[in-house]
Chain A
């Protein structure tokens, strides 16, 4: 007979003894190098595809292969392999798919931008492809820095309100006289002198995701538990509506003062999804969508540029709208390009994507659709799908609420941005000026998306559920 208050060890012994006493086994699985080796394998394939894309562009557009390949192809490959080595050292359990997918998208983007350069006859520092490669280097350096500095995502939780403050400052920066720049109507750029323009709103979305995640983890109980039931849903109390109204006002002011519809939609959509995740209540989504649609309808009546976007969308093929200044010329050219591409495309370097205005940034999807066809475009969409799914996976597997919310929020930003841009180009929704993540020419977007990739890698490393026991 044992005393009732037996300690852990003796209790185990008692349970084991009749069997001939095996020692207590706490088995753990260690697979880190396996994950990293898989990543390396996929990464090498991705680099090979990137190089092949540049070669095909040269064969198609120039008819021969020249040395630009060395700079464009090898430059990116070296960078992503550096990042892979960093991951081996500081995030051994990170997700093995995020880096190869991001590298492939970035490389295909560079190849396409290079193709537009050839059509425009740009070379050297005029060439957007060279600049894009340099920006990629900077972006991947930022991503490596994020991986090295943030060893555990919980650090970000401490800086919730700092992140919120940074987001607001970044959003307001383009409105500062002398610093802000207006490009094709939207005041979302900052620049010093005549060069080095940057879109601070792209970085703001990361800060916003951190802020929303921290804020909602702290306050979700009051947002989800109380309220009246109506139409089978629990609606929040009036005084709990504060946060959603603040974010709504923020995105409406982006529409009014910065004249940027896409960014406003992006921020508001991010907030709604994170709110839904944190509270699990559909009523928030319904409420938010009503608010945003109401705001958008009012804006389309009162603000001329929003009205123009709606007309271009609904009546794109009308010759008057097509020929008007600021009309649907670009949209329709993009559609013609996609139609010319057909199922398998004209082949890299063999189409005429340069006819569409800004074919290397906003319209890179139409350019790729023309030269790679539906098959290629769907492959690119599948890559985005996998990237976003890996992010959602973090939210599913993790144990930490802040990390879950942040992971899903960050990957949802990428998904929503894809939807807004590609939906705009393919005339599903009104066209708004956002960049296609990883693909489009644009430094700020590249930096922001590589930092998102780094944060997702970090989250997947710290949140990975190591099996504690395998049966």
Chain B
């Protein structure tokens, strides 16, 4: 033997150590998958980039007047000035449901990036803090995999994925997958969005 017992012992322990370091390295690289992305400090951004209320008010929200909160009421007033959308069909239970045909885009209506939008396709939209969500929302209130928008029989449904802080459709917390009406705010953490034509 040209190698001493001690050297071999050190080498074999070193081998096991490197093997485990490799595994821990992979797990470390995976951490955003397992625990979600790092929360970004949002206070400054929010203050800097968006005067939120006025902006949110610019958003058309033709929801039935009976269910409106005061803030939203001013929103509708402003909206009607801006767009003069025909009032939602009266007496029907709320505004028209968003379907694959009539909803073409998702618009962020409040939060740091309000005003941004992206087009809807037939793919479902996953929402959460994890890096592979379609809509990544990085704030303290969003879960890693928070909610999902999907097409069910050509209709857009929103499903809460057991998130910690809940998903709110027009102010009420979701318990079951629910159809999303057009132009109705869905609130997740500090962000709201709407589906629009």
Interface residues of A (CB under 8 A from B): 1-2, 4, 6, 8, 11-12, 14-16, 18-19, 22, 24-27, 29, 38, 42, 45-46, 48-49, 52-53, 56, 59-60, 63-64, 96-97, 100-101, 104, 344-345, 347-348, 350, 372-373, 375-376, 379, 382-383, 386, 393, 397, 399, 464-471
Q: How far is the CA of A63 from the CA of B11 in the complex (A)?
A: 13
Given contacts A12-B117, A64-B2, A469-B113, contact A376 B19 (CB under 8 A): yes
Shortest beta-carbon contacts, A-B, top 8: A347-B12, A470-B136, A379-B19, A465-B132, A399-B123, A467-B136, A471-B113, A468-B118
Asked whether A18 and B54 contact (CB < 8 A) given A42-B25, A467-B131, A471-B111, the answer is yes
Q: Among A11, A97, A101, A372, which residue has the most Cβ atoms of chain B within 10 A?
A: A11
**Which B residue sits closest to A52, measured CB to CB?**
B15
Interfacial residues, chain B to chain A (CB-CB below 8 A) = 1-3, 8-9, 11-13, 15-16, 18-20, 22-23, 25-27, 29-30, 33, 54-55, 58-60, 82-86, 104-105, 107-108, 111-113, 115-119, 123-126, 131-139, 191, 196-197
A313 to chain B, nearest CB (A): 30
Knowing A2-B83, A14-B82, A471-B111, the reply to whether A397 touches B117 (Cβ < 8 A) is: no
A63-B2, A399-B123 known; A4 vs B133 contact (CB < 8 Å): no
Residues of B within 8 Å of A101, CB to CB, are 26
Find the B residue at minimum CB distance from A64. Answer: B2
Between A and B, 22 residue pairs with Cβ closer than 8 Å are A15-B82, A19-B55, A19-B58, A29-B131, A38-B29, A49-B15, A52-B15, A59-B3, A59-B8, A59-B11, A63-B1, A347-B8, A347-B11, A373-B16, A375-B16, A386-B23, A386-B26, A467-B131, A467-B133, A469-B118, A471-B111, A471-B136
- Complex contacts, A38 vs chain B, CB 8 Å: 29
Asked whether B112 lies within 8 Å of A4 as measured between CB atoms, the reply is no
Q: How far is the CA of A307 from the CA of B89 in the complex (A)?
A: 73
* Nearest-neighbor residue (CB-CB) of B139 within chain A: A471
B134 contact set on A, CB distance < 8 A:
465-469
- Whether A1 pairs with B8 at a CB distance below 8 angstroms is no
The interface residues of chain B lying within 8 Å CB-to-CB of A467 are 131-136
CB distance from B114 to the nearest CB of A (A): 9
Determine if B118 and A26 form an interchain contact, defined as CB atoms under 8 angstroms apart.
yes
